Structure 1
Amino acid sequence: MIKKIVGISAAAILTLGLAACGSATNNKDATVGEQVKYKITGIDPGAGIMEATDNALKDYDLSKWSVTSGSSSSMTASLKKAYDKKEPIIITGWNPHWMFSKYDLKYLKDPKGVFGEAEEIHTITRKGFAKDQPQANQVLSQFNWSEDDMGEVMLAIQEGKKPNDAAADFVKKHKDLVSKWTKGVDKVNGEKIKLVYVAWDSEIASTNVVGKVLEDLGYNVTLTQVEAGPMWTAIADGSADASLAAWLPQTHKVYAEKFKGKYEDVGTSMKGVKIGLVVPTYMKNVNSIEDLKK
């Protein structure tokens, strides 16, 4: 049975993200910066998108601006609160994410390319994992799915299903896809595997789905939620076996470089993912990060 351990995250500072939304003004004559009090609502401080946002503030000379940190859930709570009232808000966003299905959102253009081009989600393991757990390593290396697949699980979770239940439903429904991930893999008898992941909706979905697949193959799986730095550290020092949450080349660049040679990149589970600054489409007066200078 899958055991889940939730690590300490930045959720304790939920109020910071909500304050950024609550302090906004709907004065249509005000600049975008004035409308949102020069605040961008972010996520956990260890995420690569937060570092990229800090770089954007420097590269675009947005000295008045700052980014508040919090959890992914606090960011989406702030977005919902603003969206329901049609209030202005700017968030750090990425896709795949269920919020793009639930709300009408747009990325701000990034002419300086601070947030990089389209990214990929990679699966990484500790050194020696392939030798120790060849069957599980084969599953991890064969795992890949589409944004629609992931979106199905994310939406189910967002609508109230527990992550493990949403994952079980997906695995049961998509037997053909699961058979591709498990092709040539033999079952085991209770061998232990520790998976670590960041608290992004996308990674909650992928980790729970793969955890369920491994469980069905006979593994004793532990899922541990941490922030980005501890996630990479756990893989590098061998205290965790694998993660399906490595966003490369930009989002987790600093960790990939820091721990180079201390982990194995065993496969790409999704291509064409993206990060950047996001606003609701009803904010007609802002379409580019350059517009934040006004």
Structure 2
Amino acid sequence: MGLAISSRRLSLNRSELNIVSLSRRKSGAKNMVEHSSSFFQGWEDDEHVRLFDWFSYFPTPLFLKQFEYFNEVRLLKEYFQVNGAKEKSMFEVGCATGEVYRYLKRRQHDCQYRGFDISANAINAAKKKFPKGNFYCIEENTRQIFKEYGQADIVFSRDVVIHQTNVWGFLDSLIELTKGSLIMRMKTRDVGATCLDPELSCQAHYSKYWMPYVVINVDELCEYLAQKSDVKKVTILKSYGILGGQNGRFLPKELYFPEAGTAETSVCIEKGLRNGDKPEIVIRVQSDKMHWSLFDRAWLKLWLTYKMPPTADASKVS
């Protein structure tokens, strides 16, 4: 899930963010989230919908080009190439305004799709854009999905696990929803333990909220999944890049340097019978940072100038 904050927040350096965080804890300012029970309230902000919907303004050819550059979409394409899409069920957890549904329809992946999100505003936007789609607003706990809809052949979740106050519990719930393959996008690190404290690893949103931003150690992830007897294979695609110091992220200081090995990481977890005691683990390095041609860049800029409302600034989504 991409994130968006104001330009004022984007200009804050680490020391300034630290001062803001300390001030927040001391003053108890009403416009900042203070407790774990309210870490998710920013998803209901109107700004969230405006900024997460920027892909909807892309011309379709550029939308498809950008989307298929994401490693998690590459993994999804690989799944469909092997298993097909027809009669397959798919849950998207954290569907926002429904652009994955748009992608599936454009590529004629005719799976039985259901999209879920905790943001009622985002779900309303998705329903308005795609009245034939199946979109549902849920509570914070994905157990609601399991109880009402059971499992799906594919579960797809982009940048949702990183914003949880209970990362491993949330991952368990996604695995529970999955009959076949769970495909996720997350943030990872090669060096150093996962910091699960949302006061020390978080991100500023919309000049109002602090939300968890958890960067998961890859070895810890693999060890955790190895304990799941029904996980037979894990495929990890890493697109390396420094995470600290960008887009209002307030992270452990080592994540501001390349030695931590931070990455935008896509993961496919396949369930089934193992060949041995441990799951097969495949790790590949594959950049998913899009490099637009001059023609595409000019086309996109002109298109967005005329199509995108002035309140939605795509440059602030990451």
TM-score where L is the length of structure 1: 0.33
Work out which structure has the larger RCO, using CA pairs closer than 8 Å and 6 or more positions apart in sequence: 1
TM-score where L is the length of structure 2: 0.31
